[in-house]
Amino acid sequence: MGRLDVVVSNAGWTRITNFANLDEGMVDEDWDKCFLYNVKSHLWLMYACREELEKTEGCFLTTASVAGVKPSGSSLPYAVTKAAQIHLAKGLAVICSPKIRVNSVSPGLMLTEWGMKFPESKREAAKNATKLKRLATDVADQTSASSGKSQRQMVNEAGHANFPNFLASYGLRIYNPDDVQEGKEILNTMSNLDYGVKK
């Protein structure tokens, strides 16, 4: 690979709780993990890939959530940190322009493996709250449209559709969201890793 054009920062974490129950929203560990994975990880990844994206006038995209736009979602810590993630993307857009385009997409509940963990009643309520009365299965179209590249271009440039391997090809890896300490060490180890594109 000779260049880095698009980075999709898709890290995130939550613990499903009753959003309307303040007692369930008062768990310190949930707040710490949500800030680590829903906010800081995106900042650290942008910092790591900034020089390469500047060279190509590339695009950095984060996957936020509709829970960051309106109070809702799997938990209070999740909603608050997704709002922070959206604001982070806006801040990074100001800081990194005009060389790098920064944006975020904010999907609602999606029928992914994770989304299917919600009770049927919650999935049905989410579906009925949409204008089209259906839930999405992915946001690939929105992501590729925001990047200025087609999905096919993104996959072809990656050489494969296996996202963990795509990240690994740039010296990055996916961290276990259950290990907060490991996440805190990401920033400390960044200076020791080569984030440049393979020559």
- The residues annotated with a catalytic role in the active site are 78
CB 85 within 8 A of CB 33: no
On the 0-12 / 13-18 / 19+ scale of CB atoms within 10 A, 96 is middle
Tokens of 161: 């559709």
Q: Count the helices and strands in the chain (H runs, E runs).
A: 8, 3
Listed in sequence order, the residues at least 6 apart from 17 whose beta carbon sits closer than 8 Å to its beta carbon are 24, 25, 30, 74, 75, 76
